[in-house]
């Protein structure tokens, strides 16, 4: 009879954290990293994995994903089950999704609703940010309760999408003041929503209906204006602030200046802003709907600034903003997704997939192309997101006592990306046909092997909600 192993020894791999790079044996036991050493001796009940030639990375932490998120009249096509399975195949073992406060319920209701759906489905560990769309005294009380008792310590607010999700400056300021004082983080979607809506209206009136006008009506300067405004609100509130999906130098220059002034401003960018530029919009083809995300792709000049900021820590996180909608109507039963906007670009649901390709695409264009060191790659994709959102050191590193979320990564392998071979529900990938260097070989979640090459050994419901603590930003 084969014995179920009580633990796993990863032998002779190259352990990479945000600060370390060494060859060692790593013993995963009782769900945590139990021992790190050389030539560790173990009994026959311990499974031994030879990791010679492989990197041993902390499981990725993706703090910006939209699974089962209702966005306008539709819903992202990845469920908690399909999205977390895809995350795992991509080497991500913790995701932070969004719980949307509706017109009538409170942040606490939003958390309970998301958890009720996630619990039986998630295959990796997860947490939630609450999207706060309405602020009053009761909402602020509930936000405090969420932080103290639910382990939800971050809240997203929108400066875009008037009448849908946009919060006004006073509401954002009130949230910043309270959440900051309690040790949490407000994450801001920074675009000037009312001006953008005017530009959209004018474009449509002029007969400009094709997807390319999505980009033309969301100019970088309006991302910059909102970023500047958000920084000033945070400065007044004496609170840290985090900007999601930074795409342009117009936004970045305010972040750089604020950080130089000592204001605690933090920011992420996303792989698509590094992989693609606005030249994709030079066509009236409906295929361009694939690239309709917010903010839109920017210029190659902007990309240079993003890379510089990633190198010098003016950007601290690369998260996916995985927000998948299908292109083909009826695919897997999802109707009226991207093609909703075939006659009116403003009806295309905003967002693109990327949860499974984050680590490998960044390894290829970041590490292999000499833009990021291996340590920085880990820091941007696991360690700092965990620190900024109260998950560290449980998540985001390989250290004795940390959760045994471990990725064995082969830097010498290559793979060609095809949507059909990915594990989510989306029917396209922006990386279709692209060959990338590096491959996720094995993934452990709290010590359990969930991905073994092409084999899925995980199961729905094995992921856990991770209560989060205070921001560890400085
Ligand atoms: O296009 C995007 N980013 N859709 C998701 C919603 C958001 O603003 O993050
Ligand atoms: Zn956003
Ligand atoms: Zn998003």
The CATH number of whichever domain residue 40 belongs to comes to 2.30.40.10
Nearest Cα to 350, choosing from 218, 246, 221? 218
Mean pLDDT, rounded, of the chain: 97
**Per-residue pLDDT for 474 more than 80?**
no
Residue/partner pairs of 448-453 with CB below 8 Å, 24 or more apart = 449/8, 450/88, 450/123, 450/124, 451/88, 451/89
Is residue 471 included in any domain, yes or no?
A: no
Q: How confident is the model at residue 364 (pLDDT cuts 50, 70, 90)?
A: very high
Read off the tokens for 192.
């000037």
Distance CA 8, CA 26 (A): 8
Q: What angle, 0 to 180 degrees and rounded to 10, lies between the N-to-C axes of helices 137-145 and 169-181?
A: 30
Question: What is the pLDDT, as a whole number, of residue 1?
Answer: 42
Q: Which of 357, 388, 419 is the last residue of a domain?
A: 388
Q: What is the pLDDT of residues 148-178, one digit of tens each?
A: 999 999 999 999 999 999 999 999 999 999 9
This prediction has a pTM of: 0.98
Residue located nearest, by CA, to atom 9 of ligand 1: 321
CA of 318 to the centre of ligand 3 (A): 12
Residue 439 pairs with which residues in a beta bridge? 410
How confident is the model at residue 366, as a pLDDT?
A: 98
Residue 474 lies in a domain: no
Model confidence pLDDT, tens digit, residues 73-110: 899 999 999 999 999 999 999 999 999 998 888 899 99
Please tell me the predicted confidence (pLDDT) of residue 472. Answer: 77
Return the exposure string of 260-297: e unless at least 16 CB atoms fall within 10 Å of the residue's CB, then b. eeebbbbbbbbbbbbbbbbebbeeeebebbbbbbbbbb
Domain coverage including residue 21 = 7-57+398-456
Do 36 and 89 fall into the same domain? no
Ligand 1 atom closest to Cα of residue 160 = 8
Nearest CA to ligand 1 atom 7: 294
pLDDT at 123: 98
The preferred substitution site among 67, 71, 74, 294 for testing ligand 1, maximizing ligand atoms within 8 Å of CB, is 294
The answer on 378 and 402 residing in a single domain is no
Examine the domain organization and report whether 197 and 314 are in the same domain: yes
State the Cα–Cα distance between residues 167 and 425, nearest whole angstrom: 31
Of the residues 133, 192, 351, which should be mutated to test ligand 1's pocket, given the most ligand atoms within 8 Å of the CB?
351
Greater pLDDT, 330 or 417? 417
Shared domain check, 316 and 171: yes
Phi, psi of 302 (to 5 degrees): -60, -40
Q: Which of 75, 320, 350 to mutate to test the pocket of ligand 1 (most atoms within 8 A of CB)?
A: 350
Percent of the chain at pLDDT above 90? 95
Residue 193, domain CATH? 3.20.20.140
The predicted model gives 353-374 an average pLDDT of: 98
Asked if residue 436 and residue 338 are part of one domain, the reply reads no
Say whether both 285 and 411 belong to one domain.
no
pLDDT band of 3, cuts 50, 70, 90: low
Asked if 140 and 251 sit in the same domain, the reply is yes
- Backbone dihedral angles phi then psi of residue 73, each to the nearest 5 degrees: -85, 5
Residue 314 CB less than 6 A away from ligand 1: no
Residue with tokens 């922006």, as numbered in its chain: 430
Q: Report DSSP state, residue 148.
A: I
Omega cis (within 30) before 295: yes
Q: Tell whether the model's pLDDT for residue 473 goes beyond 50.
A: yes
Question: Is residue 464 a part of any domain in this protein?
Answer: no
452 and 365 in one domain? no
In a shared domain, residues 209 and 178: yes
Please name the residue that has the structure tokens 């994903």: 65
194 lies in the same domain as 296: yes
Q: Are residues 267 and 310 in the same domain?
A: yes
Q: What is the pLDDT of residue 6?
A: 85
| Domain contains 63 | no
What is the arithmetic mean of pLDDT over 53-67?
A: 99
Q: Give me the number of domains the chain comprises.
A: 2
Distance separating alpha carbons of residues 66 and 351, to the nearest angstrom: 9
Residue 102 is predicted with a pLDDT of 85
Instruction: Check whether residue 313 and residue 168 sit in a common domain.
Output: yes
Q: In this structure, is residue 2 part of a structural domain?
A: no
Ligand 1 and 156: CB distance under 6 A: no
Tell me the mean pLDDT in the region 193-210: 98
Position 1 in a domain: no
């Amino acid at each position: 009879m084969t014995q179920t192993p009580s633990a796993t020894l990863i032998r002779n791999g190259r352990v990479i954290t945000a600060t370390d790079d060494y060859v060692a044996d790593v013993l995963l036991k009782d769900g945590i990293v139990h021992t790190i050493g050389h030539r560790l001796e173990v009994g026959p009940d311990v499974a031994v994995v030879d990791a010679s030639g492989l990197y041993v990375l902390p499981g990725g932490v993706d703090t910006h994903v939209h699974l089962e998120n209702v966005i306008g009249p539709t819903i992202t096509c990845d469920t908690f089950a399909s999205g977390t399975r895809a995350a795992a195949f991509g080497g991500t073992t913790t995701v932070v999704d969004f719980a949307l406060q509706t017109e009538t319920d409170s942040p606490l209701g939003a958390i309970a609703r998301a958890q009720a759906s996630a619990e039986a489905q998630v295959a990796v560990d997860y947490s939630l940010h609450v999207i706060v769309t309405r602020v009053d005294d009761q909402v602020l009380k509930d936000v405090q309760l969420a932080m103290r008792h639910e382990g939800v310590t971050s809240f997203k607010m929108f400066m875009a999408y008037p009448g849908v999700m946009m919060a006004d400056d006073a509401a954002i300021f009130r949230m910043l003041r309270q959440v900051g004082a309690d040790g949490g983080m407000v994450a801001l979607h920074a675009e000037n929503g009312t001006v953008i809506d005017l530009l959209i209206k004018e474009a449509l009136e002029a007969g400009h209906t094709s997807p390319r006008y999505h980009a033309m009506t969301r100019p970088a300067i309006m991302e910059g204006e909102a970023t500047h405004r958000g920084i000033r609100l945070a400065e007044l509130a004496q609170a840290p602030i985090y900007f999601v999906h930074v795409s342009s130098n117009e936004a970045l220059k305010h972040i750089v200046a604020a950080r130089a002034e000592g204001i605690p401003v933090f920011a992420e960018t996303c792989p698509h802003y590094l992989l693609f530029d606005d030249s994709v919009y030079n066509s009236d083809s409906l295929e361009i709907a694939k690239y309709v995300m917010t903010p839109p792709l920017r210029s190659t000049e902007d990309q240079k600034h993003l890379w510089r900021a990633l190198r010098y820590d003016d950007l601290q996180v690369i998260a996916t903003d995985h927000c998948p909608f299908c292109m083909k109507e009826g695919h897997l039963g999802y109707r009226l997704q991207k093609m909703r906007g075939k006659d009116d670009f403003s009806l295309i649901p905003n967002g693109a997939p990327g949860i499974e390709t984050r680590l490998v695409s960044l390894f290829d264009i970041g590490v292999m192309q000499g833009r990021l060191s291996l340590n920085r790659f880990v820091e941007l994709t696991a360690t700092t997101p965990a620190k900024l959102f109260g998950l560290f050191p449980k998540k985001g590193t390989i250290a004795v006592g940390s959760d045994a979320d471990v990725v064995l990564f082969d830097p010498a392998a290559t793979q060609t990306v095809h949507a059909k071979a990915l594990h989510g529900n989306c029917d396209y990938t922006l990386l279709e046909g692209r060959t990338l260097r590096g491959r996720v070989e094995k993934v452990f979640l709290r010590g359990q092997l969930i991905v073994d090459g092409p084999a899925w050994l995980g199961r729905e419901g094995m992921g856990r909600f991770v209560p989060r603590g205070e921001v560890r930003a400085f």
